[in-house]
Structure 1
């Protein structure tokens, strides 16, 4: 079973968004990396998930997406496409994980993430 492991808030002004969430909810916002500001929403021992704030790309300029961790990103992409999803951004490689963005058949955006 795949689990939701993070969220991503896309914004055209991520610095302003980071300031807002830090002030209102006391979230810890780390320095940006690849136009992505990692967000810690609580202690590791508490319930909830962490995420990030990103500079929204053209295809998703603002909004919220969940990140779903899968064992095989290639298999999950294939299964999602066969089930009516559309690929927004194909498999991307980062230092510690692979990431892809899709839209489900009703237009909801989500990310798939596979740890290396």
Structure 2
């Protein structure tokens, strides 16, 4: 089974004080930060054509209260989850459905958290 894509397409910063984090990153780096939607603030870091990626800031949930996670795009999220777990990953959050994509959170065998995204 081959999981296609694998591009890092975003990041998520989790904080117990997301408003304070948003103010910090906006002030220090000039990032444009949107108003919250689902307690998530979308971030535009700048020019994507020159290597930048966008992400978001959220209030960290109980299973990931603070820190950063990359988001990896895959063509088939169910296959990617299966392949990851067969290779030692643990599922932190099962596949969730949103308007435009599916999202799941896993932890690799060394403890590094990451998200998988499949666009609809």
TM-score interval w.r.t. the shorter chain? over 0.9
User: Mind listing any 5+ residue stretches in structure 1 that lack a counterpart?
Assistant: none
Q: How many residues align?
A: 116
The alignment's TM-score, normalised by the length of structure 1, stands at: 0.97
SS of alignment partner, residue 45 of structure 1? helix
**What's the CA shift for 1:105?**
0.2
Instruction: Give the one of 55, 58, 62 matched to 1:58.
Output: 62
Mapped partners of 2:106, 2:48: distance in 1: 28
1:16-41 deviations in whole A, cap 9, x for unaligned? Answer: 10000000000000011111100000
1:29 aligns with 2:39: no
What whole-Å deviation, never above 9, does each CA across 1:42-66 have from its counterpart, x for those lacking one? 0343321000001100010000000
Cα RMSD (Å): 0.8
- The question of 1:95 aligning with 2:99 is answered yes
Structure 2: state its 5+ residue gaps. Answer: none
Please list every run of at least 4 consecutive aligned residues from structure 1 whose deviation after the TM superposition is greater than 2 angstroms.
Answer: 43-46
Aligned equivalents of 1:33, 1:114: Cα separation in 2: 20
